[in-house]
Amino acid sequence: MDRLYFQVPFNDKDIAKRSGARFDGDTKCWYAPDEQVANLLRKSFKEVENPAPITELPGEDREFGGNGLFVDLVPSSCWFTNVRYCIEDDDWARLSKGVRARAGQECEVCKGTVDAESGIFLEAHERWHFDEESGTQVLKRIICLCTACHRTTHYGLAQINGEADQVRAHFMAVNDCDEAELDRHVAHAFDTWQERNSRDWALDLSIITNAGITLRRRVAKDDRRNIAHAETQATRAVEASETLTIKEISLDDMDDLFRGF
């Protein structure tokens, strides 16, 4: 029989395994090898029609923001409330695979390709529209960016990670501009960020749900702060491991660090 695929939340994978489900590494989906297992899985899980990479997001505007390289800072109420965090790992794997495939395996901004030796990969980045009137942050597009362009887009995070020089050089090369122009651009991006920070934003991920992907969790406002804290700690720990001193940072320190996110 044909493989029947099921949507198995990450936390339930042991249940699926015990029922006899097998994991398909290619599509990153669980499937039933026979009818008996399929019947067991149907009791707990939804059958997945198509485990192939997701390339179509109904309602997505693939022109949104153009294909230029710009600094795009996420308001603090939305830190780490990214798509990857909100959907199942299986779905994220299918989605990011689809985003890379439809871009022809190259960066949609600088046309760069994977160069593992230089640490350059292709990554999926969310582009948002901020609807001032309704106070909604609407996911408009998922763009395929190389690591260099992606880091530049998240300029504040790059600063925290000590990558400012690299991303500045990349921005000037891609946009063929000088330092003064870059500084004006960054200042403007931070002004916009400050304005957006003065309020909380609701999330609209309908292009994701339109594609039949289920949102597995919403991150409460207070949790976002803790997640951001944990992520920063992890970064610091990597840096500190080189000098063998791991410095604890407080949540208040973290707020200062993330002022420029």
Judged by CB, which is closer to Zn ion: 7, or 76?
76
Minimum distance of Zn ion from residue 192's CB (angstroms)? 16
Number of residues that bind Zn ion (CB under 5 A): 7
Minimum distance of Zn ion from residue 234's CB (angstroms)? 17
Cα–Cα distance between 174 and 138 in angstroms, integer? 27
Q: Is 8 in the site for Zn ion (CB under 5 A)?
A: no
* Residues from 142 through 161 that contact Zn ion (CB under 5 A): 146, 149
Among 75, 98, 112, 156, binds Zn ion (CB under 5 A): 112
- DSSP 3-state assignment of 244? coil
Q: Is 203 in the site for Zn ion (CB under 5 A)?
A: no
Q: Which long-range contacts (CB under 8 A, 24 or more apart) does 229-238 make?
A: 229/254, 231/80, 232/160, 232/257, 232/258, 235/160, 235/161
Judged by CB, which is closer to Zn ion: 4, or 83?
83
Q: Is 205 in the site for Zn ion (CB under 5 A)?
A: no
Minimum distance of Zn ion from residue 120's CB (angstroms)? 8
CA R_g for the chain: 20
Cα–Cα distance between 164 and 195 in angstroms, integer? 23
Choose one: 24-32, 119-127, 160-168, 210-218; the region binding Zn ion (CB under 5 A): 119-127
Q: Is 125 in the site for Zn ion (CB under 5 A)?
A: yes
Q: Is 107 in the site for Zn ion (CB under 5 A)?
A: yes
- 4-7, strands of its sheet edge to edge: 22-24, 29-32, 4-7, 46-48
Minimum distance of Zn ion from residue 212's CB (angstroms)? 23
| Neighbouring residues of 213: CB distance < 8 A, sequence distance ≥ 6 | 54, 87, 88, 91, 95
Question: Per DSSP, which regions of the chain are E strands?
Answer: 4-7, 22-24, 29-32, 46-48, 122-131, 136-146, 202-204
Minimum distance of Zn ion from residue 150's CB (angstroms)? 6
Minimum distance of Zn ion from residue 35's CB (angstroms)? 42
Minimum distance of Zn ion from residue 146's CB (angstroms)? 3
Q: Is 41 in the site for Zn ion (CB under 5 A)?
A: no
Tell me the C-alpha to C-alpha distance, in Å, between residue 156 and each of 70, 145, 164, 168, 190. 12, 17, 9, 12, 9
- Looking only at the bridges linking them, the beta strands covering 202-204 and 136-146 are parallel
Choose one: 104-112, 203-211, 227-235, 244-252; the region binding Zn ion (CB under 5 A): 104-112
Q: Is 87 in the site for Zn ion (CB under 5 A)?
A: no
- DSSP 3-state assignment of 174? helix
Choose one: 10-18, 72-80, 123-131, 232-240; the region binding Zn ion (CB under 5 A): 123-131
Cβ proximity of 145 and 111 under 8 Å? no
Q: Is 73 in the site for Zn ion (CB under 5 A)?
A: no
Name the residues that contact Zn ion, by CB under 5 A: 107, 109-110, 112, 125, 146, 149
